[in-house]
Structure 1
Amino acid sequence: MSISLNFISLPQHEHFRLGPFTVPRLWVGLWQLSSNAWGSAPMSKIREAMVRHVEEGYTAFADHYGSAELVFGHFRRNMAPEHDIVGATKWCVFKDVVPTRPVVEAAVRERIERMQADRVDILQFHWQDYSNKGYLSALEILQELRTEGLITSIGLCNFDAIRTDEICTQLGPNAIVSNQVQFSLIDTRPLHGMADVCERHGLKLLTYGTLCGGFLADKWVEKPVPDLYSGNLTPSQRKYLDMILKAWGSWELFQSLLHVLRVIGDRHGGLSIANIATRWVLDHQFVGAVIVGTRLGISEHLQDNCKVYGFNLTAEDNADIEAVLNRSNGRRIITTVGDCGAEYR
């Protein structure tokens, strides 16, 4: 049975072109479905939450790890056909793989089967070992599969600026539509090289970690630093807290940033800290969309997230933010951690 949706009060979303798709600038990230460490909800509640997201205009879903492909596939298959829902899934190569045609095609067909689709909308490709140039061969075969109709668009995931430029140069114009990387007020690495690559080749970034696992939010204003090893933190929060404390600066400086974001939110009519932090990322022209990690059926911020649309930060806002960022080590993270995706290699 198809699911029909009620679009009574659909917010005016911002959209952009990604390959042949017109998609919103906020996407639903499904990485939490890969583990109970983020909390768990009954499948019925997860599907209800996915319906609510589509009702509010969140029609693009990404990061289909593990069972998320199966959940998304079942969900979209049961949606009414008039709803244009886009799914971006991944093929991540973490070990020595010889990317022959049968190997690459088998990986793509597995995703098609799991997502109950005729083709993959956006296949995001990740390759761990840069010393093995097999990623170029794999992408050339993915291009063939796109031509044959098994893939609509090809994106990258956690590739750095040097390899992204190399790939786009070798594969030619419009071969790659996106690169999914971490980008936030805390992690500004895409500003150093990746932005130029995007402009040169017409790529858009799909960003994650934009709210640092939920730390860039009003709930953390004037709160003490949490225990990094507390069982109350999600895997994402442990990751980003470690970055805030060790690579970016200190909890005291982070509190200063939260206070500035709170003031800016008040200037714009009482918007949340999360709205301002998200808007800061979206205001960069090389960013296509922010992927918002959503604990479906557990914790959702549908209405608040939509408030990022319809405004832009002012020169005063940006100057106030930069005054805090200039006191941090943020601009040096690219030298201490490495370029985009280096933490996964």
Structure 2
Amino acid sequence: MTNDAHETFKLGEFTLPRLWTGLWQLSSNAWGTAPVSKIRQAMTRHVAKGYTAFADHSRVSQLTAVVFTRGLQADHYGAAEVIFGEFRHSLESPESIFGATKYCVFKPTVVSEESVEAAVRQRMERMRTQRVDLLQFHWYDYANPDYVKVIEMLAQLKAQGLIAAIGLCNFDTLHTDEICARFPGIIVSNQIPFSVVDTRALHGLVEVSTKHGIKLLTYGTLCGGFLADKWIGQVEPDPYSGSLNPSQRKYLDFIVKAWGSWALFQELLIVLRGIGERRGGASVSNVATRWVLDHPAIGAVLVGVRLGCTEYPSDNLNVYSLDLTPTDRAEIEEVLARSAGRQLIETIGDCGAEYR
């Protein structure tokens, strides 16, 4: 089962593939390491297969710096931004490669035009570009309304040509609606968690995004790699064994404590594999990704890749040739209905609540 034709969508002035390469696993040795030369070779392989959009991730920490760019800062996410910038700069047509990064405010701080512009220019310097393709904004506390000021400042920098497109990161339904109504036409996206396990986006955010014409960029869609064939029939892993990477520890806790149980998750994996087998041998990951992409307002799924270590660019392409039927979706829903997934909006909160 192969398909080289990529689905695309519009994001501001850009036409982009619906699968992006997530770079957050370059942040720490905990995900596995590879020499920079191998990472660049892996990026080259991805581009050759049509993966022309690269992005960081939304996992945030209250213990990090007050203001920084997500996934790409040397003190938290390693040299991902620099590596990407050097890679893109080395290409004959660097403009054909899209790069998304972030600007995050985690603690009370004095917001000024100077500090916001300095942060944007730092992104430009590290990515070796004359403008940031997509700058995604995360704000620590909605009780402080200064996020409105930041959006105004970013809009000014966009008008000056320093930013091509402005997005949000982990904004919930209420505040996405507020910002998009207040700044019509300025916001193009919101990066949020969304998977067959984490369906909180279906409790209003998809509808609000559709109303305002913005796209949702999803992470956690494969639950740190747990939504994969290799986990079928496996016993529940020990989170303290040292065998799991940071993403897997996070999503294991989510699956067995918030969503349901490892036994129910096994049932979900078996259903997803059965659907894949009926659809020409698609993988569990393919089916889980397709399920997300088929929802309204979804622009792209960000697939975390351990570049130079573990990557599945060919298998992921099968998503584009996969069509789920109403019967397929009904089988998935039957399992989900027996989980606590629909209650996550109450137990955890809306998208991004776990990071505030």
For this structure pair, what is the TM-score category when the shorter chain's length is used for normalisation?
over 0.9
Match of 1:141 among 143, 153, 156: 153
Q: Is the 8 A contact 2:3 2:318 kept in 1?
A: no
Say if 2:20 and 2:51, in contact at 8 Å, map to a contact too: yes
**Contact 1:283-1:312 within 8 A present in 2 as well:** no
Match of 1:4 in 2: none
Contact preservation (8 Å) 1:10, 1:57:
no
Counterpart secondary structure, 1:308: helix
User: Equivalents in 2 of 1:84, 1:10: separation in Å?
Assistant: 21
Aligned to 2:47: 54
Q: Residues of 2 paired with 1:19 and 1:98: CA distance?
A: 30
Mapping 1:186-335, distance limit 5 Å: 186-335=197-346
Alignment map for 1:97-176 (pairs within 5 Å):
97-172=109-184, 174-176=185-187
In 2, the alpha carbon distance for the partners of 1:271 and 1:142 equals 42
Name the Cα RMSD after superposition: 1.1
Is this contact kept in 1: 2:72–2:82, CA < 8 A? no
Cα shift at 1:10: 8.2
Letter in 2 for 1:270: G
Counterpart contact for 1:244–1:251, Cα < 8 Å: yes
Letter in 2 for 1:242: D
Contact 1:261 1:277 in 2 (8 A): yes
Unmatched 5+ residue regions in structure 2? 57-70, 74-78
Q: Secondary structure at the match of 1:16?
A: strand
Aligned-pair distance for 1:197? 0.8
Cα–Cα, structure 1 residues 82 and 112, in superposed 2: closer, same or farther, change >3 Å? closer
Alignment partner, residue 9 of structure 2: 16
For the Cα contact (< 8 Å) 1:10–1:56, is it kept in 2? no
CA contact (8 A) 2:272 2:332 kept: yes
Shift of 1:103: 1.1
Measured against aligned partners, the alpha-carbon deviations of 1:267-295 in whole angstroms (never above 9, x if no partner) come to: 10111000000000000121000000000
- Alpha carbons 2:3, 2:320 under 8 Å: kept: no
User: For 1:125-181, what per-residue CA distance to the aligned partner results, in whole angstroms no more than 9, with x for missing partners?
Assistant: 001111111111000010000000000000000011111111111112x21000000
Q: C-alpha distance in 1, partners of 2:268/2:295? A: 19
Please state how far the C-alpha of 1:311 moved relative to its aligned partner. Answer: 2.6
Say whether residues 1:32 and 2:44 are aligned partners.
no
- Per-residue CA deviation, residues 69-100 of structure 1 (Å, 9 max, x unaligned), is 10110000001117610000001111112221
C-alpha distance in 1 between matches for 2:94 and 2:284: 35
TM norm structure 2 = 0.93
Give the letter for the 2:120 counterpart: V
Q: Which residue of 1 aligns with 2:61?
A: none
Q: What residue ranges of structure 1 are gaps of 5+ in the alignment? A: 1-8
Between the aligned residues of both structures, percent identity stands at: 62
Distance (whole Å) between structure 2 residues aligned to residue 334 and residue 138 of structure 1: 27
8 Å CA contact 2:173–2:204 kept in 1: the answer is: yes
User: Could you tell me the TM-score, scaled by structure 1's length?
Assistant: 0.96
Task: Say which SS state the counterpart of residue 260 (structure 1) adopts.
Answer: helix
Aligned residues: 336
> What residue number does 1:44 align with?
37
Distance 1:80-1:136 versus aligned 2 partners, 3 A rule: same
